[in-house]
Structure 1
């Protein structure tokens, strides 16, 4: 009887073991089908129900009214970010479906989650020191807007979601400005999890070539020396080496120099509006896969899966080095006297790589119009050594202040600073302070909106030291805190994706006071009589400029704008500095 019982126990154990090894999810990417939103969530709920070391969590809101989910995979049933970080584990955050017409990351992550949980090929060992957090579908509104005609440049899958979200925003231009509920939620997720490594999965329809997958690596020059060294000498080459061992080779994202094929590839500069650029604000190693739209969907999913496996393995194998490099990078950043705010590629420094592409022609006959066009001839593959430029030089840098002061009325900016965990100290009393302020001298803006904003370019400024009254509740922001990079990038007006560039301070660009020529005459006359030196200056300008001397309004403007009548607040950037 005991032998029979023992046999039953063994058989049950074997049965459970075999069940744990069997895939639970029925993915159909081989049939050019990517799951609907409900199917994605149902699959993750199934994994959640079967494995106690994984959980599906509602983690904020989206513009479509549905919650943003994270799927957390750990070695044990512990899912609290603070406790997990305290254990010294690395956090790998993977985001999918930011552009729902580019869905291979969704399928690849579903398969990856299923495989690591059932310990395929011993993958579960990576969870000993690494927690994997997956955002299954980020742009839920776009994913629900599913159809056959959303992605004109690709044949498969047969149905996909739409690029814009429920507010018709491109969410991969929204990380810095945070107009969407989606972006506010992911800002909170970053603040909550503080990921060490971040991946966002995409598809590109750029040049045609033989690769199924390309990569935008973390931008090394954005990082302090310790992290730049780690990226160039270890992380980037190791990931490429791991991909070489698999079925799908990896190539840098094909961003041609001067837009000329085979002229050399430039490392993409991902500013904070993009997911990977936003990740770098927290010294997180953020990157994007860009699968190739002209390849079959199954190949795109498989190559994306292969990359996720390689990245997860690297993160686990180098967990201690990743955490140590981020810590050292933060320490180095806090000691920096200056900070770069613009870059330019250094074309004197490059490496070479073998590029497998196709010959191009200006005389390919278009099958629709019957007319010649530029294109790639897939019947003529080529392999050529080309240059890869991944070094950028600093064009402009600023001296890092010790404090910024932000008046409390700028609530939209304050909200975003809070979302990202920025430490701010409200003033207890009304206080007159000597500060350095920037004036916006020049800027340009497009005629058409860009993702809902008229973003400012070509910004030039000048600085003045002034005495300004601040009031109880205005915010003193210590700059040298752990998230210093975010503070500098968002509050320096000339930084690439600052709040100023994204129109959060546009009301300073309007002049509030004005004068009428008739009404101002008596006051102007009195001012000239009371200030003989300025009166002499005006007379000299009349003599030097005959057109000015004949222009009544121009002379009154000169008096108004060069005396105490001029508004101190006009074009004065409201975020002041203390050095």
Structure 2
């Protein structure tokens, strides 16, 4: 192989990763040399104004997305460099794409399957290059930074889409609608013998026959194949206590993460996590093996995967209820044959505490608990459609990015709808990825007459994107738009009172509104310590009276048509 065809990783000492500029120039040269195999170009612009690229590999030279989708061809998607400090997938993808171009047998093995890839997703972070941001990681010599130019983690941004980069991804992903996705990463955490660990779409959350296929067929095949390739693989090591000895749990990858976002579109997603303490060369080789293993399985089983995805989309059009929140079943763990190192404890030399360390001279192999079942603990009835007033354009824009079909209200009309009243919200004490994320939300469901204005949006569930719609618009879903703060302004009452005047008005309100008087009596009995607090007393009366009620206050502004 000529040096021009080698990647920067191959030209170096196997402890180097490509720079963004070298990576893009390399792919552009490869595409010029093999125009019948590879199409490569810009799909959008990052928040720092840098181009984001993607590539398409096709065995028969057909690259047009509409033609490929119309032909029902399988699509496999490899995303790389979302965390540029975890770059082995970036370098491995380069070598794989070159093999498609230069090895006719490898290209022919794709058959009808189309291989699409983003070579380096977080371009902003990739140019912020050093060797210090990945604490404890063994190589490479220089690498990029986790955050993008807005200091956001892109693997928390797939649903909320604060970044232009995530918006590019949403459009790209939904336009191609891949059947399987592999998003490459490196793991932090415990010490153990494995170089490769695997986060997968949680099968219970993926649901139905597609989730069953992932759990019972695809995952066992990948684990077996990785062992045959010389890279034994285990589930992502997510200890339920301080070390794997006590068991590990599936990672419930909600829609902020790549695989959880993929599940909203019924795509099987994998997030391989190589072990940070292993040499970069080993991480590179195991990542190449994992991507190729998942690709080969997809090629061989594409018809079944596509049929299961179609069935899931069709079922979503008419299902009567939707699960929107899941919790681990800690009473019924499975088991996994795990190869670990003995966890030991010793006094810290830094402070007066005991620290954990792993003794690599004391390896062990035994079955450990694997908490790999998750139950839906919140389920909601499926409306016929949701209504989003046009004022809430941030939510509308994200639905449009994801191919959701919207209908516009043609003329003003009153409509009887179901709506949520927000009883209470508890948020994280500090900012999380640019938002005050709402961890705990309490709701009441009510019926109401609302005015729909011309131009407001009707969002029917009789469409392929039904799952995406439900899990973003239902406030109690793990990563709903509401939890991310898209509708925070409705939590604030806009008008107030002057206490010295309202004191007399409050007495009259209690005489005029029996329901208010009853509520006030109950409140006094439950809060005797607040009766000496004028503000608390008047606030309760003001907030609960009918006369001065603000209908929009604490009313979730997305409605449901039954």
Please give the range of the TM-score, normalised by the shorter of the 2 chains: over 0.9
Residue 225 in structure 1 maps to residue 196 in structure 2: no
Deviation at 1:76, TM superposition (A): 2.5
Correspondence for 1:102: 86
Partner secondary structure for residue 78 of structure 2: strand
Correspondence for 1:173: 156
Contact 2:9 2:15 in 1 (8 A): no
Partner secondary structure for residue 289 of structure 2: helix
Q: Bigger CA drift: 513-522 or 354-363? A: 513-522
Correspondence for 2:357: 375
> C-alpha separation between the residues in 2 aligned to 1:532 and 1:51?
80
Deviation at 1:550, TM superposition (A): 5.7
Contact 1:25 1:114 in 2 (8 A): no
Correspondence for 2:111: 128
Deviation at 1:334, TM superposition (A): 2.6
Deviation at 1:98, TM superposition (A): 0.6
> C-alpha separation between the residues in 1 aligned to 2:370 and 2:530?
55
Correspondence for 1:335: 318
Contact 1:337 1:399 in 2 (8 A): yes
Correspondence for 2:66: 82
Contact 1:543 1:549 in 2 (8 A): no
> C-alpha separation between the residues in 2 aligned to 1:296 and 1:446?
37
Deviation at 1:372, TM superposition (A): 6.8
Structure 1 residues 342-378: Cα deviation after superposition (integer angstroms, max 9, x where no partner): 2122234343322111112112877x99997321111
Q: TM-score, normalised by structure 2?
A: 0.94
> C-alpha separation between the residues in 2 aligned to 1:48 and 1:559?
70
> C-alpha separation between the residues in 2 aligned to 1:415 and 1:289?
31
Q: Select which of 451, 455, 467 maps to 1:473.
A: 455
Contact 2:237 2:244 in 1 (8 A): no
Contact 1:224 1:332 in 2 (8 A): no
Larger Rg over CA atoms:
1
- 1:160-199 correspondence runs (5 A): 160-199=143-182
Contact 1:129 1:319 in 2 (8 A): no
> C-alpha separation between the residues in 2 aligned to 1:537 and 1:419?
45
Contact 1:96 1:201 in 2 (8 A): yes
Partner secondary structure for residue 404 of structure 1: strand
Q: 1:73 to 1:434 in 2, by over 3 A?
A: same
Residue 574 in structure 1 maps to residue 561 in structure 2: no
Structure 1 residues 380-421: Cα deviation after superposition (integer angstroms, max 9, x where no partner): 222122122211111111111111111111111111111111
Q: 1:492 to 1:540 in 2, by over 3 A?
A: closer
Correspondence for 1:482: 464
RMSD: 2.5
Contact 1:443 1:460 in 2 (8 A): yes
Contact 1:493 1:499 in 2 (8 A): yes
- 1:113-512 correspondence runs (5 A): 113-119=97-103, 122-363=105-346, 373-512=355-494
Structure 1 residues 16-44: Cα deviation after superposition (integer angstroms, max 9, x where no partner): xx99xx95545336430101111111111
Q: 1:539 to 1:145 in 2, by over 3 A?
A: closer
> C-alpha separation between the residues in 2 aligned to 1:546 and 1:267?
46
Contact 1:224 1:330 in 2 (8 A): no
Partner secondary structure for residue 31 of structure 1: coil
Q: Bigger CA drift: 93-102 or 349-358? A: 349-358
Q: 1:526 to 1:142 in 2, by over 3 A?
A: same
Q: 1:462 to 1:309 in 2, by over 3 A?
A: same
Correspondence for 1:9: none
Deviation at 1:561, TM superposition (A): 2.8
Deviation at 1:531, TM superposition (A): 5.2
Deviation at 1:128, TM superposition (A): 1.4
Residue 50 in structure 1 maps to residue 33 in structure 2: yes
> C-alpha separation between the residues in 2 aligned to 1:372 and 1:187?
45
Residue 69 in structure 1 maps to residue 53 in structure 2: yes
Correspondence for 1:15: none
Correspondence for 1:27: 9
> C-alpha separation between the residues in 2 aligned to 1:370 and 1:464?
55
Unaligned runs of 5+ in 2: none
> C-alpha separation between the residues in 2 aligned to 1:468 and 1:27?
61
Contact 2:190 2:243 in 1 (8 A): no
Correspondence for 1:6: none
Would you say how many aligned residue pairs link Structure 1 and Structure 2?
Answer: 559
Deviation at 1:518, TM superposition (A): 2.8
Residue 60 in structure 1 maps to residue 10 in structure 2: no
> C-alpha separation between the residues in 1 aligned to 2:532 and 2:356?
58
Deviation at 1:549, TM superposition (A): 6.5
> C-alpha separation between the residues in 2 aligned to 1:378 and 1:536?
68
Q: 1:378 to 1:428 in 2, by over 3 A?
A: same
Partner secondary structure for residue 436 of structure 1: strand
Contact 2:99 2:106 in 1 (8 A): yes
Contact 2:223 2:233 in 1 (8 A): yes
> C-alpha separation between the residues in 1 aligned to 2:527 and 2:286?
69
Contact 1:363 1:373 in 2 (8 A): yes
Deviation at 1:261, TM superposition (A): 2.6
> C-alpha separation between the residues in 2 aligned to 1:354 and 1:539?
61
Q: 1:404 to 1:292 in 2, by over 3 A?
A: same
Unaligned runs of 5+ in 1: 1-17
> C-alpha separation between the residues in 2 aligned to 1:542 and 1:360?
55
Contact 2:192 2:340 in 1 (8 A): yes
